[in-house]
Amino acid sequence: MNASDIEHVRDILECIEAIDRAEATVQRYGGDLDVARVALDAVQYRVVTIADAVDSLSLDLREDHPAVSWSDMARLRDLIGPTYDNLDPNTVCASIGEPVRQLGSACRAILAESVRVGEDEP
């Protein structure tokens, strides 16, 4: 794994944390449609960023972690991109929730592995 991969994995984790914050904000302000719309904008941006970061990962890293559905993660942007005006925040969260959680777990494991082999600082 190279330094660029580590940076992309960190970017993915940062995006997942931002998605979690957006979902928590929507829950906190459940009836506020403006809050829901802003949160959806944030989620859309972060999903596209995740897809771009996944596309940028080296083939070696992806092959070293075959349990992760990298191609599905790269296609997340397709889920929300073309139909943005018709998106329902609850549908988006339900659609990306579990795949993003699994990706987050895999990325945390990749970072932990990189620290163990001395490729990254804790």
The residue assigned the tokens 């944030």 is 42
Residue 40 lies inside a defined structural domain of this protein? yes
CA–CA gap between residue 79 and residue 76 (Å, rounded):
5
Lowest mean pLDDT among 6-20, 54-68, 75-89, 102-116: 75-89
Rg (CA), the chain: 15
Average pLDDT over residues 93-122: 81
Q: pLDDT tens digits, residue range 93-103?
A: 667 888 889 99
Average pLDDT over residues 61-84: 81
Residue 85 lies inside a defined structural domain of this protein? yes
Q: Which residues contact 91 (CB under 8 A, 6 or more apart)?
A: none
Domain count of the fold of the chain: 1
Residue 109 lies inside a defined structural domain of this protein? yes
What domain range is 48 assigned to?
Answer: 3-116
Residue 53 lies inside a defined structural domain of this protein? yes
Please give the share of the chain, as a percent, with pLDDT higher than 70.
Answer: 83
* Neighbour count for residue 47 (Cβ, 10 Å): 24
Residue 122 lies inside a defined structural domain of this protein? no
Q: How far is C-alpha 45 from the chain's CA centre?
A: 10
Evaluate if residue 25 carries a pLDDT over 60.
Answer: yes
Residue 97 lies inside a defined structural domain of this protein? yes
Q: Which residues contact 58 (CB under 8 A, 6 or more apart)?
A: 1, 2, 4, 5
**Nearest Cα residue to 44 out of 11, 83, 77, 1:** 77
Residue 121 lies inside a defined structural domain of this protein? no
Evaluate if residue 119 carries a pLDDT over 70.
Answer: no
Q: pLDDT tens digits, residue range 29-67?
A: 988 989 988 988 888 899 989 999 999 999 999 999 999
Phi, psi of 61 (to 5 degrees): -65, -45
